[in-house]
Structure 1
């Protein structure tokens, strides 16, 4: 290791590393690469670079997030020609030293990897264990037949489908309730509803629109209400939608966040109805964690029928 030196991140390191690193293997690597940067204290982050004979060949970072603050995100990447020489271990040891000084007092690490990649092998060697599987699932147009809304014996509709403004307090609360309930494996920090809206439903988050399914409408109408939200979908604009000359292919799926009331007795039916509406003409892609049991079972069923496919599967690994 005498030919390798460790130092803090410097301006221009990203350009030099991109010249020797191959294209990112997957979405996760792309996201982490974008996080590499100068040290900051708000939010707290430390990044380091390893040079070989004066040329940057590897880098790593560790940082806090305000949404999930029980662990620190971490990432290490080494140029292919310099792997299996202890460079990754050198970076990880330094990242753990930085983690021990984080202002929050949190030092446990987490990362996200794609199975059967070099990053997966290194993370598992480092002692990080899987705490969640997550998939990006593409559902083809027409994958589900339209399903009628439920009605009572007098043919009165007991369900309703409604477009809802992304600034809706009711929608924000429903989304946050869902998010917290399916992230017990990595509990989110307390957030104000205003911040939740900013993170998931704002123009800044590229939220484009929202549709909800309301259940028990008949009973709610007696009290002058609309009925509780049992399932919802939020659509998002592509990050490069406004790029000059960008033409969106007809088969490009719309990214959506699907959620549901985990206590609703017919949540599975309601989510399926909502998804059928979304894919009536166009494909969609959504993220599903194994902790989202209703969505996970629906995704498995569609994949089994050949009307959906996994675009990418990843594992969240963490210190235990």
Structure 2
């Protein structure tokens, strides 16, 4: 049964589909986001808000299928499968069910329904993310998903790291335009390097669009340059801020390094740049397990009580 919008007959056929839970299923329609918000309530956090944005009308370019489950005409649940142009090897799965309809197998039924539709798609692997130690994590484990990555947001306190001596170390902290080709190229290479676990096809254009454009919230960037003789002023590490003004609230920062560095060099460069960024104000960085050099720095700070992990997310995958 297809959920693409190719005529009234198909739409009527889908709207008559009844799940074993007693709910009826139909394709996503305009206004469903607001109707579901009334029964779901506000999102719990930024990740939850972002995942809800995956719910959108079905499409073939990019490939996506989204369905809504109704109870006597009232939307109470929704689920989607979506193929990303950035991470093309797995379909992203997201489902949410109103509290009073949970533990009735609704999410499983929606998953199976969408997976049968995905047989027409070239990709035959799924991924989904969830907050750590939640019912969603139990759902994924119970339905054959296995963990492939973990990520956490780390808040680094002001002055948590000793200030480096840039002159002695022959280093320089330099402001750089977020539209810089040099920065965009480095961000692209860094992103692809740390996503070998979920192959990415980041390009300079996509980096500009998804990570560095003003529309993303990117408000500024700095780079740590190596000024030693023979280093050719190469960039060792970079940071992009998504917080327009510094304050007592932590600034959201994307921190990365030159993938050409050795592991210990990347760790040292990350620590120096993080020390400079958090010298006077708190900084929040998102750290995946794949970002080993930065993870070691932030893990030490957490152990020393100089940083806090305020949110942890897990990514799970399953083949058909």
TM-score (norm 1): 0.87
Asked whether the 8 Å contact 2:97–2:107 carries over to 1, the reply is: yes
Aligned match for 2:170, one of 144, 158, 174: 158
Give, in angstroms, the shift of residue 88 of structure 1: 1.2
Q: Distance in 2 between matches of 1:150 and 1:291?
A: 31
Give, in angstroms, the shift of residue 261 of structure 1: 2.1
Asked whether the 8 Å contact 2:148–2:197 carries over to 1, the reply is: yes
What pairs with 1:1-320 in structure 2 (closer than 5 Å)? 1=20, 3-102=22-121, 105-149=122-166, 151=168, 158-189=170-201, 191-215=202-226, 217-220=228-231, 225=232, 227-237=233-243, 250-265=247-262, 266-320=265-319
3-state secondary structure, aligned to 2:166: coil
TM-score (norm 2): 0.87
Q: Per-residue displacement from partner, 1:8-41 (whole Å, max 9, x unpaired)?
A: 1122222222122143333332211122122223
Q: Per-residue displacement from partner, 1:104-153 (whole Å, max 9, x unpaired)?
A: x11311111112212111111121110000011111122122111263xx
Q: Distance in 1 between matches of 2:38 and 2:215?
A: 31
Give, in angstroms, the shift of residue 2 of structure 1: 5.9
Off by >3 Å, runs of 4+ in structure 1: none
User: More relative contact order in 1 or in 2 (CA 8 Å, sep 6+)?
Assistant: 1
Equivalent residue for 2:8?
none
1:249/1:234 CA distance change after superposition, 3 Å: closer
Q: CA RMSD in A?
A: 1.9
1:44/1:59 CA distance change after superposition, 3 Å: same
Q: Distance in 2 between matches of 1:90 and 1:200?
A: 35
1:2/1:213 CA distance change after superposition, 3 Å: closer
3-state secondary structure, aligned to 1:280: coil
3-state secondary structure, aligned to 1:123: helix
Q: Distance in 1 between matches of 2:303 and 2:270?
A: 18
Q: Distance in 1 between matches of 2:270 and 2:235?
A: 11
Q: Distance in 2 between matches of 1:78 and 1:194?
A: 36
Q: Which runs of 5+ in 2 are unaligned?
A: 1-19
1:68/1:290 CA distance change after superposition, 3 Å: same
Asked whether the 8 Å contact 2:54–2:94 carries over to 1, the reply is: no
Q: How many residues align?
A: 298
